[in-house]
Amino acid sequence: MKQFFVYTLLLLNLIAAAALVFATISVFLSPEKLWFAALFGMAYPYILVINLIFIVLWIFLKPVFILLSLVVILSGYNQIGNYLQFYGQQTKEKGIKIISYNVKYFMGSNQFPTKENADHILDYLRQNNADIICLQEVRLNKRQIFDVANSKLPQINHMQLAHTSHAGGQLTLTRFPILNMGEIRFNNSGNMIIYTDILLNSDTVRVYNCHLQSYRLRPTEINSIDSMNFENQKKTMTQIKELSVKFKDAIIKRAEQAATLREHLNQCPYPVIVCGDFNDTPVSFTYRTVRGDLKDSFTESGKGTANTYNGKLPSFRIDYILYSPKFTSYNFEVSSLNHSDHYPISCDLFPAEK
């Protein structure tokens, strides 16, 4: 009986190890060819934990089998650092402070934007006194709650905004002079990228403010994930099929957008700072494509897990501040500000030591 239990456990461990291998290599697999591989990458932290549990079990049952999950985990060790950091690089010196924040049109937990919620966000921005602020999903209509022209941010002198819809879009605010502005728009998508060339001391630096393809799930669809009833198989299968279509469409579009952004980055003649909501995890084709040879402020100066999504779905790190090796990052932080379905992130950039 014990032998049957051990070999059943071994079979389950083999499945978990194979899933971890597939999750790790999913970053190299284009969703246009194998879209569901991205789901394994999204589940990477959970699959990793399952493999760690198997290691603990084998310590007591059959230590030799520890190697099965251990080898797989170590072979993809770099991915762990994208999720977990034990030491954050800190300094009290004044650098270039960057904030990136998807503000969800200032709706907070409500269905409609509120003045109170916008004021809380504005207070956060004012108190943090950032030099460059990249906001996504900003309410930009004529009667906007967030008054761009009189935002009461004394350090901010320049801005760029672009509409992704009649009411809202993206906004980049900076205290540095703007030399040039541009947009990257995508076909059949409400998501986009704006880029701003700023004069940073005597150098030109390009700031990308990104909002890559969303899943476009309605609140009722998000609620349906929590309330799926497998006793009613027909209804559940219909829900799964509808959600799968949306996930597939978003994953493929996001990969295409990441490739477009990477091509734009390759042609950029200046050092870059890439901020925004990628709507994808660090173990993804999107993240790997965009990051390229850029540095990640979390992996360089963050601590903990840095989950940035604040919605009903599982919390992941989907918001980023990436930058050229010309800079080095300190003081990465995920704020606990609870006025959007994302948390704001920030860091301080300094010239890299030569």
CATH number at residue 341: 3.60.10.10
Domain that holds residue 21: 2-83
54 and 103 in a single domain? The answer is: no
Does residue 88 lie within any of the structural domains? no
pLDDT tens-place string over residues 243-293: 778 888 999 999 999 999 999 999 999 999 999 999 999 999 999 999 999
108 and 237 in a single domain? The answer is: yes
Mean of pLDDT values over 33-40: 89
Does residue 48 lie within any of the structural domains? yes
Q: Quote the pLDDT of residue 237.
A: 66
pLDDT tens-place string over residues 96-145: 999 999 999 888 777 667 788 888 999 999 999 999 999 999 988 755 65
Q: What is the mean pLDDT of the chain?
A: 88
Q: Quote the pLDDT of residue 229.
A: 53
Transcribe 71-127 into DSSP letters.
HHHHHTHHHHHHH-BS------S--EEEEEEE-GGG-TTSSS--HHHHHHHHHHHHH
- Decide: 21 and 69 in contact? Cβ < 8 Å: no
pLDDT tens-place string over residues 158-184: 999 988 887 789 999 999 999 999 999
34 and 173 in a single domain? The answer is: no
More confident residue, 305 or 135: 135
322 and 198 in a single domain? The answer is: yes
* Final residue in a domain of this structure, among 83, 113, 130: 83
- Decide: 209 and 195 in contact? Cβ < 8 Å: yes
More confident residue, 258 or 218: 258
Q: Quote the pLDDT of residue 270.
A: 97
Q: Quote the pLDDT of residue 225.
A: 52
Q: pTM (2 decimals)?
A: 0.91
Mean of pLDDT values over 212-222: 69
* Final residue in a domain of this structure, among 83, 107, 122: 83
106 and 170 in a single domain? The answer is: yes
Q: Does the pLDDT value for residue 324 go beyond 60?
A: yes
Angstrom CA distances, 315 to 22, 110, 130, 302, 306, stand at 21, 19, 26, 17, 10
Provide the domain count of the chain: 2
71 and 106 in a single domain? The answer is: no
- Rounded CA-CA distance 23/45 in Å is 10
Q: Quote the pLDDT of residue 238.
A: 67
What are the contacts of 139-146 at 24+ separation with CB within 8 A?
A: 139/105, 139/106, 139/113, 139/167, 139/168, 140/167, 140/168, 140/169, 140/171, 141/166, 141/167, 141/168, 145/106, 145/113, 145/114, 145/115, 145/118, 146/103, 146/106, 146/118, 146/121, 146/122
195 and 49 in a single domain? The answer is: no
Lowest mean pLDDT of 29-43, 137-151, 196-210, name the range: 137-151
17 and 128 in a single domain? The answer is: no
75 and 119 in a single domain? The answer is: no
Does residue 89 lie within any of the structural domains? no
138 and 17 in a single domain? The answer is: no
Q: Quote the pLDDT of residue 6.
A: 84
Q: Quote the pLDDT of residue 349.
A: 97
Does residue 18 lie within any of the structural domains? yes
Does residue 191 lie within any of the structural domains? yes
Does residue 305 lie within any of the structural domains? yes
Does residue 91 lie within any of the structural domains? no
192 and 148 in a single domain? The answer is: yes
pLDDT tens-place string over residues 46-81: 999 999 999 999 998 888 999 999 999 998 888 999
* Final residue in a domain of this structure, among 52, 83, 114: 83
66 and 115 in a single domain? The answer is: no
Does residue 90 lie within any of the structural domains? no
